[in-house]
């Protein structure tokens, strides 16, 4: 995936909601599975470009906890796709110094898939060029609730005073602990919502929505999103310096 984006991009953590695979397939009178397969090819190209752009961390929303409600055949296909992606791409990711992590619940996943996930994480654990997080069987509300439950256990044991629970303590219990919050969140396919994705971590993220369907998302679209981000002013709740003098 070629692009003319400055390799020193001002984005440390990029998150993407990859949406539109089914619509892409429907527009071409193809089964939905063909759309998901095309989406994996886009993942391959995007990971290469984003690593080349100098971005430290990429989080991709692949399968949500709500996606279990889809037809069983489609769910099984998505499970096989993740398995195939890891098997086919792990060697290249490791060679390119990419650290892989799968965030989300592992309960309910096939035991062979869980072993493959653990293997990918172990093999790439020391890699430092880029962090690739794939949110699979992931839901942000569930993540926050589970973090709260772990803190509640500590309170019940007398290890922690409830009055001393801070955002930092909650953050330490999340699956993304140790990583910066996303600077930029991209969502494809024209939908303008987070859909239960990184709700805590995206408190001050910038958002970029595009009508382009994920399988059609290419270097030009990625370039446009990064350039749009570069034009934004991030104040994290503060006012502009000029305004602060008059307020």
- Which of 19, 56, 89, 183 is the catalytic position? 19
The band of 235, judged by pLDDT with boundaries at 50, 70 and 90, is confident
- pLDDT tens column, 179-191: 999 999 999 999 9
Average pLDDT in the chain = 92
87 in helix, strand or coil? helix
- pLDDT tens column, 201-224: 999 999 999 999 999 999 899 899
Give dist(CA 247, CA 239) in Å, integer.
Answer: 9
In sequence order, the 6+-apart residues with CB closer than 8 A to the CB of 32 are 21, 22, 25, 26, 74
Instruction: Give the pLDDT score at 53.
Output: 85
Q: Is the pLDDT at 3 greater than 60, yes or no?
A: no
What domains sit in the chain, N to C, each tagged with a CATH number? 13-139+180-234 (3.40.1180.10)
The verdict on whether 19 is a catalytic residue reads: yes
Enter the DSSP assignment of 197.
Answer: S
- pLDDT tens column, 39-92: 999 999 999 988 888 899 999 999 999 999 999 999 999 999 999 999 999 999
Instruction: Give the pLDDT score at 135.
Output: 97
Specify the DSSP element, H or E, that contains 132: strand 130-138
- pLDDT tens column, 134-156: 999 999 999 999 999 999 999 99
Give dist(CA 56, CA 10) in Å, integer.
Answer: 10
Rg, the chain, Cα only? 19
Torsion of CA 116, 121, 126, 132, to 10 degrees: 120
Write down the pTM of the prediction. 0.90
What average pLDDT does range 115-124 have in this prediction?
Answer: 98
Q: Is the pLDDT at 6 greater than 50, yes or no?
A: no
Instruction: Give the pLDDT score at 184.
Output: 97
- Which of 67, 96, 127, 196 is the catalytic position? 67
């Amino acid at each position: 995936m070629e692009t003319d984006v400055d390799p020193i991009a001002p984005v440390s953590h990029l998150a993407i909601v990859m949406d539109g695979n089914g619509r892409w397939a429907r527009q071409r009178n193809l089964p939905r599975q063909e759309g998901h397969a095309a989406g994996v090819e886009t993942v391959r190209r995007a990971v290469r470009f984003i690593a080349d752009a100098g971005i430290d961390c990429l989080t991709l929303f692949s399968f949500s906890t709500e996606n279990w409600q889809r037809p069983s055949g489609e769910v099984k296909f998505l499970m096989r796709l993740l398995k195939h992606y890891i098997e086919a791409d792990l060697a290249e990711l490791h060679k390119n110094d990419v650290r892989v992590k799968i965030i989300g619940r592992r309960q309910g996943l096939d035991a062979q898939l869980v072993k493959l996930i653990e293997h990918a994480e172990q093999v790439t654990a020391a890699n430092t060029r880029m962090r690739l997080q794939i949110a699979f069987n992931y839901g942000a509300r569930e993540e926050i609730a589970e973090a709260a439950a772990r803190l509640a256990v500590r309170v019940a044991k007398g290890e922690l005073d409830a009055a001393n629970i801070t955002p930092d303590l909650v953050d330490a219990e999340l699956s993304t602990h140790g990583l910066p919050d996303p600077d930029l969140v991209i969502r494809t396919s024209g939908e303008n919502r987070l859909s239960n994705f990184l709700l805590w971590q995206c408190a001050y993220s910038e958002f970029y929505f595009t009508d382009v369907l994920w399988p059609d998302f290419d270097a030009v679209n990625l370039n446009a999103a990064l350039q749009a981000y570069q034009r934004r002013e991030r104040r994290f709740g503060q006012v502009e310096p000029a305004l602060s003098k008059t307020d």
